[in-house]
Structure formats: C-alpha cells, structure tokens
Chains A and B, each alone.
Chain A
Amino acid sequence: MTQTAETYLDKTELVLNMGPQHPSTHGVLRVILKLDGETVNGTDCVIGYLHRGIEKLAEARTYPGFAPYVDRLDYIAAVSNSMAYCLTVEKLIGAEVPARAQAVRVILTELNRIASHLLWLGTHALDIGAITPLFLTMREREFVLDIYERYFGARLTTHAFRIGGLPRDIYDGFQKDVLDFCDYFIPKVDEYAQLLTGNRIWVDRLTGVGVLNVADCKAYGVTGPMIRAAGLAWDLRKALPYSGYEQYDFNIPTCENGDTFDRYIVRMEEMRESVKICRQAVANLPDGPVMGKVARVLKPPIGEAYVGIEAPKGELGFYIVSDGTTNPYRVRVRPPSFINLQALDKMSKGALVADLVAIIGTLDIVLGEVDR
C-alpha cells in the first residue's frame, strides 16, 4: 500500500485518536493527535458528531418559531443565544425594544455569563485534576438556574426572549433574587480564587501552556476571553454596544501573556464585572412596557442583517437573509466556540498530551455550538 507524502508519518510519530468519547473533550469532539513520544506535533479536529442542521431547520420555521431552537446551540448560555437571535430579527424588522425589556435582558444575559463561566471553571479544573471547584461552582450555578426557572419557566433551554421584548414582565421579587445572588456570589468567587489562583499545582500546570498572542488571535478570528487574555481589550459590549450596555459602568479585564492561566484570570474577573452590571441594571430598572410593537405574523422586508453580541465564549453573531416571507431565507450562525476551536492546532504544537486537556478546556467550547 502506498501513501502520499502528506499522510506519511515519521517513524517516531504515532497517531492517536482522542475522542469522540473522551471526558476531557467536553462533548463529542474527536482530536487526531500526531505524537512524538509525549509531545504533540499536530492536531486534527473531526467535528460534526452533534450536527443537527439547525441553520437549515430555520428555513422551515417562522421567525418566532425558530427562537427556541437557538437555545440548543450553546446550551450552557442559552439566554445569550436568544439575545443575539432576537436582536438580529429586531434589526431586520426595525423594531424598537422598550428600555425596561433591554435592562431585564442585560441582567439575564449577565447572569448567564456567570453561569457559563462557572460551568467552565468547574469542568476545566476537573480536567486538570482539581475536583473540589466543580462541586462549589455547580452549587452557585444552581441559584442562577433557579432564577431562570422562576422567570422563564425552564432551567436550561429557556426560550428566553421574544422578538420585540420579553415574554412577560418580571415576577415579584425578581430584583431581590438577583441582588441576593450578587451578594452571595462575590465571596464565592474569592473562595474559588483561594482554591486555585495561588495553588502551586494549578499555576504550574497552566502557566505558559497554550499561548496565543494578539496577532494569532486576530488571524484566527478568536474572540472573547481568549483575545482579552492575550492583551487586547476587545469586548463588543463596549465596542459596539447593544441593548443599552453603554449606560453601565464596567471594566474589560485583560492580561498580557495569553496563556491558559491568563484566560482563567480573565474569566474570573469577568464574573465579578457581570455582578457589577447586574447590580447597576437592577438599581436603574426603568418602568414601562416589556414588549415593543411587533406584528403578530412577522414578515420582515427583503434584506439582510447581522448582529454580533458578546456571548460568554466570544462574539456570537446571527446573519439572517429575508426574502419577505414568514420564514427566513438563510440563517447563518457565527459561533464563538467553532472559531476559537480553530486555534487548537496552533496552541497545542509542542505541548504535552496532558497539557492538551488543559488547552481544550481553556477554549471553553460547547459542541452543540461547534457542530450546530
């Protein structure tokens, strides 16, 4: 049997399959590793094991009818997906969202950012060998999900927002629930920091692993905490404010080295910033309606719209083409996980197999969003 030069392996190299059933690949990701001993010489990702054709499904659904499906993209941050989709359709039809609905959306998406980062922190630490943080982060995430259950009626696949506003006004005691969570949560972040930030094992395992500088991030289109850890303060909430983010006072945490430890620090700080935004939004919650004027049967004019938002994992964008009927002509999702995953090969070159687990963890991918 002859092999072409590209697939011919050096005698010292070994090809190993990692996944699709591997606990550290966070789902059904298959990574083909080219190993020289313990060193990774190259990786090749095989994706598509969770492909459901969500973009195609949209073409057979009405605009409001497709809204619950976007929850299944990044199911850890379902509210952010709903936000991005609703904003795009609202741009397409030119609908105005009332100020109260915008503020409530901000609160709920920031809580979602916290929940997403908590799950990332727990599983990332578990991958590296620290089991304790998982139990603590899951406990705090539960409080966010309880707020979701009380407001949306579901915990994970929330079907959060409607085109033009919110499904209903907030329930009595919503503000108290959010503020209670904010007060409860900040000492808990300090607790995680106490467990991990100074821990020698944690620091030594993460420092200098999976380095990605700003130029590489830009070349790959990597966004979110990954580019902020590399040192570029790029955050769509500040750069292209949507849903009234310009009125809130918060910082964009950045680091310099762009390694796995810096990404951990950035995400920890982002959770604190999210709490700050939640507090401000609850304190200045405007009165008024929660639903804008939207036609009952949505028929957007012929055209196209793209809106990107800062999801927990990076820039999440929806690009929708309308042909004037009730169903979208084409829906394209720009998923942060999928685009961040491209950088895996660059980040893992020369790393050890054990570090590869840390690198996949730090990418914070959700396979539902990678495969769609």
Chain B
Amino acid sequence: MNWNKLIRTVFLVDLFQGLAVTFRNQNPKNIVTEQYPAQRPTIAPQFRGAPVLNMNPETGETLCNACGLCALSCPEKLIVVKSERDEATKKKVLTEFTFDTSRCMFCGICEEACQSDAIELSKAFEMASYSRDGQVWDRKKLEDGHHPPQFKA
C-alpha cells in the first residue's frame, strides 16, 4: 500500500468527497420535481394522451369520413367505426364511433393512419374512471374532448 492510499484511507478522504457532493445538492437551484396536483405539468405538444375526434372548426361537422383505417390499423382492435351510406350523396356517413381507452396503449398508430386528421391523441391525460364502462368512450365523448374535473387542493 502506497502512502497516498494510506493517507486517503486513514483520513477518509473519499468519504468526505462523497459527502461534499451530497451537501452540494442540498439546496438545488433547478428543481426538477414537479409538484403535480398543485402545479400543472407542462405537456409536450407531441404528447399522446386522451383521444379526441376532431370537428371542422367552420362547419362544426365531424372530419371523420368513416373510412375505418384507424380501426383496421389498431393493433388492439379497440376502435369500432360504424357508418351508413347516405342515399342522396352516395357517401359514407359516420353513425357510431367507440374507443376503448382501457385497452389503448397510446401508440399513435390510429392517428398516423387517419387520412383526414379526425382522430387525434390529445394532451389531456387524467383518464381515470370509476368503472370499466366509463373507459369506453363513445362518439359524443370523443368529439367533446376530454376535460377531467379539476379540484382545488
């Protein structure tokens, strides 16, 4: 054992160096932790959260043309799109759209498959519900968007 190592061992130099790190982090300038319920987190615009079914902002009609590509591409097959053919215009009209969020893994494949920007995974994220039925979202719920109730702590 050389002298340098002996001195370091006897005077516990390495332990004090480690303690210095600990004390340097006692009052951090940048606090990384978010005080979540009190302080709302900043969510990135790209975030894949609660699904919404977008409407045309001018006419208020749904953008979904009931092509069913989202239902086809979904790996979990949790989207159900039902449509009927309009006799006058010969076009498909969306009648029913359900999205089972309890089985969704938020991969975003439906969003990428959609040709008309109708289905989108939004920034909303607080999606707890009291029952499993509450996790299956129908067309109205998807079109209104997800607005979880907020309580003051």
Q: Does B32 make an interface contact (CB < 8 A)?
A: yes
Interface string of A182-217 (1 = CB under 8 A from B): 000000000100111011100000000000000000
Q: Does A132 make an interface contact (CB < 8 A)?
A: yes
Contact in complex: B46, A159 (CB < 8 Å): no
Q: Does B121 make an interface contact (CB < 8 A)?
A: yes
Interface string of A165-180 (1 = CB under 8 A from B): 0010001000000000
Interface string of A138-180 (1 = CB under 8 A from B): 0100110010011111100101000000010001000000000
Q: Which of B84-92, B105-113, B127-135 is the contact stretch?
A: B105-113
Residues of A within 8 A of B112 (CB): 167
User: A187 CB to closest chain B CB, in angstroms?
Assistant: 11
Contact in complex: A61, B75 (CB < 8 Å): yes
Contact in complex: B106, A199 (CB < 8 Å): no
User: B22 CB to closest chain A CB, in angstroms?
Assistant: 6
- How far, in angstroms, from A195 to B22 measured CA to CA in the complex? 8
Contact of A200 among B15, B44, B105 (CB under 8 A): B15
Size bracket, chain B contacts: 20 to 34
Asked, given contacts A139-B32, A153-B121, A191-B21, whether A65 binds B109 with beta carbons under 8 Å apart, the answer is yes
Asked, given contacts A65-B73, A151-B46, whether A159 binds B107 with beta carbons under 8 Å apart, the answer is yes
Contact in complex: A132, B75 (CB < 8 Å): no
Interface string of B7-29 (1 = CB under 8 A from A): 01100111101101110010000
User: B79 CB to closest chain A CB, in angstroms?
Assistant: 13
Residues of A within 8 A of B107 (CB): 67-68, 157, 159
Contact in complex: A68, B47 (CB < 8 Å): no
Residues of A within 8 A of B13 (CB): 198
Report how many residues on chain A are interfacial, defined by Cβ distance under 8 Å.
Answer: 32
Q: Is the interface of A mostly helix, strand, loop or mixed?
A: helix
Asked, given contacts A157-B105, A198-B14, A199-B15, whether A149 binds B75 with beta carbons under 8 Å apart, the answer is no
Contact in complex: A153, B75 (CB < 8 Å): no
- How far, in angstroms, from A157 to B108 measured CA to CA in the complex? 11
Contact of B21 among A139, A142, A149, A195 (CB under 8 A): A195
Contact in complex: B46, A171 (CB < 8 Å): yes
Residues of A within 8 A of B43 (CB): 149
Interface string of A61-76 (1 = CB under 8 A from B): 1101111110000000
User: A124 CB to closest chain B CB, in angstroms?
Assistant: 16
Contact in complex: A68, B109 (CB < 8 Å): yes
Residues of B within 8 A of A68 (CB): 75, 105, 107, 109
Contact of B106 among A139, A151, A154, A194 (CB under 8 A): A154
| Nearest residue, chain B, Cβ from A143 | B32
User: A184 CB to closest chain B CB, in angstroms?
Assistant: 10
- How far, in angstroms, from A98 to B151 measured CA to CA in the complex? 48
Residues of A within 8 A of B44 (CB): 146, 149-150, 153
Contact in complex: B46, A149 (CB < 8 Å): yes
Q: Does A136 make an interface contact (CB < 8 A)?
A: yes
User: A193 CB to closest chain B CB, in angstroms?
Assistant: 10
Q: Does B139 make an interface contact (CB < 8 A)?
A: no
Residues of A within 8 A of B73 (CB): 62, 64-65
- How far, in angstroms, from A61 to B105 measured CA to CA in the complex? 14
Contact of B22 among A64, A132, A154, A157 (CB under 8 A): A132
Residues of B within 8 A of A62 (CB): 73, 75
- How far, in angstroms, from A68 to B76 measured CA to CA in the complex? 11
User: B106 CB to closest chain A CB, in angstroms?
Assistant: 7
Asked, given contacts A65-B75, A136-B25, A167-B112, whether A149 binds B14 with beta carbons under 8 Å apart, the answer is no
User: A162 CB to closest chain B CB, in angstroms?
Assistant: 8
User: B151 CB to closest chain A CB, in angstroms?
Assistant: 25
| Nearest residue, chain B, Cβ from A159 | B107
- How far, in angstroms, from A42 to B73 measured CA to CA in the complex? 49
Residues of B within 8 A of A195 (CB): 18, 21-22
- How far, in angstroms, from A215 to B112 measured CA to CA in the complex? 48
User: A144 CB to closest chain B CB, in angstroms?
Assistant: 12
Binding site for B on A (CB under 8 A): 61-62, 64-69, 132, 135-136, 139, 142-143, 146, 149-154, 157, 159, 167, 171, 191, 194-196, 198-200
Give me the 10 closest cross-chain CB pairs, A-B, nearest first: A198-B14, A68-B107, A65-B75, A153-B46, A153-B48, A150-B44, A159-B107, A195-B18, A149-B44, A139-B32
Query: Can you offer 19 A-B residue contacts whose CB atoms are under 8 A?
Result: A62-B73, A64-B109, A65-B75, A66-B75, A67-B107, A68-B75, A136-B25, A139-B32, A146-B44, A149-B46, A150-B44, A150-B46, A151-B46, A153-B46, A159-B109, A167-B112, A198-B13, A199-B15, A199-B18
Binding site for A on B (CB under 8 A): 8-9, 12-15, 17-18, 20-22, 25, 32, 43-44, 46-48, 73-75, 105-109, 112, 121
